[in-house]
Every structure is written in structure tokens, then in C-alpha cells.
Amino acid sequence: MSKFYGQLEQDKFLYERYFSETKNGISIECGAFDGVMESATFFFEESLNWVSINIEAAPPIYDMLIKNRPKAINFNFGLGNKETKEIFKHAIHPSHGVKFGNGSFNHKLEHQDILKSQSCTFQEYEVDIKTYESLIDRLMDEKFPNRVIDLFVLDVEGFEIEVIEGMKNSKYLPKIMCVEFPHVGLENLKTVLAELGYDFDIINESNAYFIKK
């Protein structure tokens, strides 16, 4: 029996709405966390034989990811709108410890206030940032030149717009974009994704879904 892992069954929603007939697809999850807990793409790898590309910026979480998802292609980078290095602030929760998925390159003030109210502390890491175009286009050209990307799940705690800006010249834009929107605003997402040729489809919980024209 297939098992869903996503937060509020996000992967079940994706499967039923877009991918019930799609086997052997390709997914990307940026903000992949440990690869299992609240993963939006592990179901597709495990049950439908998809290729999984996971991107996780936090070094302590990445160590968990590579143990949990050995079949996947895993990267310890951030994605952004330019090739650079940035400080990643990894949140440490008083109960959950380092295994807490609220780290970011760009915490919004409201989000930071919430984390501080929960008595979180922060560890800072200097992390390489790649653009989607540079990382994904190179990977696809080398390993999957005649394939398409079916799904991109983006959840990076306030850095989503920068990631999307780094997609502008890519040859491999995904069919479906699933983006967490509360930190950056739905209208902002609609604007930047329309420029890449995406139509807004629907909201489900805290995620907005877009379809490539």
C-alpha cells in the first residue's frame, strides 16, 4: 500500500490532481529537509519510480537527508537569483533541537519574531547558492537530456522569489510548481511566475499551485 509523507498530505493532493497517471517522472524539492518528514516527493520516488532531486541548504539537516534518501540526487546548496555565498540561519527549537525546518537565507521579520517567541536559537552557516538554471540545466543536460521535469516543490521560508528569479533562462522549467506562499505573498508569486509562463491553478493549505502553459 502506498504511503504519503507530505505535510497535510501535500503529496496525495499532487498525485490526485496532477500525476495519477505519471510513472517514471522527475521531481525537484528545494527545502527538502530530511527527505522523509513532511516530504512532498518521497512518495513519487518510492511508489511511482520517479527520479528525485533534493536540495537542502542546512548542513545538519543535509546529513540526515543523504542517509534517508540514498536513491535520490541530493545537493547541499541553496538556490537563488545569482551564484554567491550567503549566510543561512538554521533555527534550533527548544524541543525539536536541530531537526527543525524553519531555517532561511531571508527570514521575514514576522517569521523571525514567531521563532524568537518559541525560544528558538540560530546557528549560522555560509552556504553556496546556485541558480536553478546553472544547477538543474547542467544536471539535466548530463543525465536526462531528453526528459522533462514534472514537479518542483519550493519551500524555503521566505526566499522563494529569489529562487524563481534564478529560473528565468532555464530550458527545463517544470510542468507543475508547488510553492509555499505565506512568507512572500500569493500576488507576488503570481507575478513572477506569470513572467515564466505559468498560470495560477489553486491554493491548498499553505501552498499555491501553478501550471506551465
User: pLDDT tens for residues 171-191?
Assistant: 999 999 999 999 999 999 999
Judged against a pLDDT cut of 60, whether residue 156 lies above it is answered with yes
Helix extents (H) in the chain: 10-14, 42-48, 59-68, 109-117, 132, 138-143, 160-165, 186-194
Average of pLDDT values for 100-113?
Answer: 76
Condensed to tens digits (0 to 9), the pLDDT of residues 67-99 reads 999 999 999 999 999 999 999 888 888 888 777
The answer to whether the beta carbons of residues 126 and 85 sit under 8 Å apart is yes
pLDDT of residue 199: 98
**Percentage, residues of the chain above pLDDT 70:** 99
Average of pLDDT values for 128-156?
Answer: 97
User: CA 47: distance to chain centroid?
Assistant: 20
Record the cell numbers describing residue 121, joined without a space. 536559537
In this structure, the number of other CB atoms found within 10 A of the CB of residue 33 comes to 24
Q: What is the pTM of this model?
A: 0.91
